[in-house]
Structure 1
Amino acid sequence: MPNEYVEPVGNRILVRKDESRGQTRGGIVLPSDAEIPTITGRVVEISAMVERDADFPVRKYDKVLYHPKRSIPVDLEADNRLFVVPIADVCAVFRRSTEPVGTGELEIAEESGEGGAAGTA
């Protein structure tokens, strides 16, 4: 049986939503009924349209912050953490830099798509 996969079309990407946290960064354990909305995830697939568009420096495996309101859940896996997200709802892409914060200008991915922030793969 062939493997199933999702290929987004138009100006969309496929994101695997990060796990919800049961504890704050400071170490406070949250009660099970408390819910912190998770709006970050890893890009799993990119539509051909987004891949060609130099205005959106999003690549496969990038960690992104996105607005979840128009995200469409994909019922392909048991844990149901896949979402098709319009590229316009991506608010930020997380990048790593070799410079400490505050010592220089922020590195922005080149529009040509040839590079990006140092330390990304």
Structure 2
Amino acid sequence: MPNEYVEPVGNRILVRKDESRGQTRGGIVLPSDAEIPTITGRVVEISAMVERDADFPVRKYDKVLYHPKRAIPVDLEADNRLFVVPIADVCAVFRRSTDPVGSGELTIAEEAGGDGESAGAG
């Protein structure tokens, strides 16, 4: 049997949701009912419509922050972490700065079409 894959259509992308965190960044272990909700993931596939639209700076393998309410789960993998997400529900794209100085600051492109804003600036 050939391998199956999911190709999103319309203004949608396919995202593999990041693992839920059971521990804070400081190392505090959280009880299972207090897990921090995960609404970030890696873009696995992009529809042809999104790929052609210059207004959406989302590319394959980008890490994105998305609104989970309209994300549609895809039952293709055992751990079921794939979701079809409308591009309008992508709130931010995480990128590394391409600053030639090499500051290494994380840049977040807001609202899937906004300018980059440095998360480390202050």
Q: TM-score, normalised by structure 2?
A: 0.81
Q: 106-115 or 10-19, which moves further after superposition?
A: 106-115
Tell which has more relative contact order, 1 or 2 (C-alpha 8 A, sep 6+).
1
> Any gaps of 5 or more consecutive residues in structure 2?
none
Distance 1:70 1:8, change over 3 A: same
SS at match of 1:45: strand
> Hey, which of these two has a bigger chunk of strand by percent?
2
> Hey, which of these two has a bigger chunk of helix by percent?
2
Divergent runs of 4+, >4 A:
98-121
C-alpha separation between the residues in 2 aligned to 1:25 and 1:106? 17
> Any gaps of 5 or more consecutive residues in structure 1?
none
Q: TM-score, normalised by structure 1?
A: 0.82
What does residue 119 of structure 2 align with?
A: 118
**Deviation digits for residues 34-71 of structure 1, max 9, x if unmatched?**
12110000000000000000000000000000000000
Given that 1:11 and 1:87 are in contact with CA atoms closer than 8 Å, whether structure 2 keeps it comes out as yes
Identity level (%) = 92
Given that 1:98 and 1:119 are in contact with CA atoms closer than 8 Å, whether structure 2 keeps it comes out as no
